[in-house]
Amino acid sequence: MRRRYISPEFGKTNVFGTLNMLEESNFFGAKMLEIEDKLSVTNENFVWYEMSSGEQVDAQTESILDPQVLSSAVSKLNNHTITIDPTQTQYTRDNATRWILDINLVGILTDQLYAKIKSARTFEGVRTRATIYNDIRIAVAKYIELNVVNRYKMTKFELYLKYVDLKSQNVLRFNNTWDEKVISAEYEQKKFQTVSDYNDRKLRVIFNQEKPSTQYKLDYFFNVYFEKI
């Protein structure tokens, strides 16, 4: 009998397109998420509904479940640190304390995009089993990381500071409070320095406390603005 030399070890198997979350272009083009030209991360709250698995399949059924909420203010709180500049003199520390804000821009941007995608039900109908991570939440976050985050850049930063009298309560000294209530033209700070890393994933903001730390502490807040590249 004549041999055909066709190996039986290879076959063709259909797989879910969502197993690969990286959008790859080809000669005929590629599908790509339509994104907003501008993103303002202030104190907005996002609400969406989903199954306990994170899947969004039936909006009517999911609407009776507990809502998922993302607060932009909480996202920013979780993605920054504020510390005293250790290189300053004792005089500066007491009379014009220099503070350093280190902000994880990509973390804030990812949270914002994730909440918007979930609120818009962009991945509605995609099941957990159709993702390589076997977790739709991880898959959406990975999609954002691979395809969307690098399409934005930070264009504006706003800092708000409110001086709070210690009233002889020295225990509160340097105990600054994150507070969205200070968003007001009255408290907006214009004197600060910003330094970004080479790929704009992190931002360092340096500013001086204009009233002595021996008498005042700070309530503070910031807003971040992004634009599509």
Q: What is the per-residue pLDDT across 52-106, written as a single tens digit (0 to 9) for each?
A: 999 999 999 999 999 999 999 999 999 999 999 999 999 999 999 999 999 999 9
Specify if 10 maps to a domain.
no
Specify if 50 maps to a domain.
yes
Specify if 157 maps to a domain.
yes
* Whole-angstrom distance, CA of residue 226 vs CA of residue 142: 20
Domain count, the chain: 1
Mean pLDDT of 170-197: 92
- Whether the model clears a pTM of 0.75, i.e. scores above it, the answer is yes
Q: Name the DSSP class of 107.
A: H
Least Cα distance to 71 among 178, 177, 175, 164 occurs for: 178
Q: Is the pLDDT of residue 209 over 90?
A: yes
E strands of 49-142, at which residues? 68-71, 80-84, 98-104
Residues shown for the chain: 229
pLDDT value for 172? 80
Average pLDDT of the residues of the chain: 89
pLDDT value for 33? 74
Instruction: Output the six-digit token pair for 19.
Output: 């197993």
Could you tell me the residue range of the domain that residue 64 belongs to? Answer: 17-228
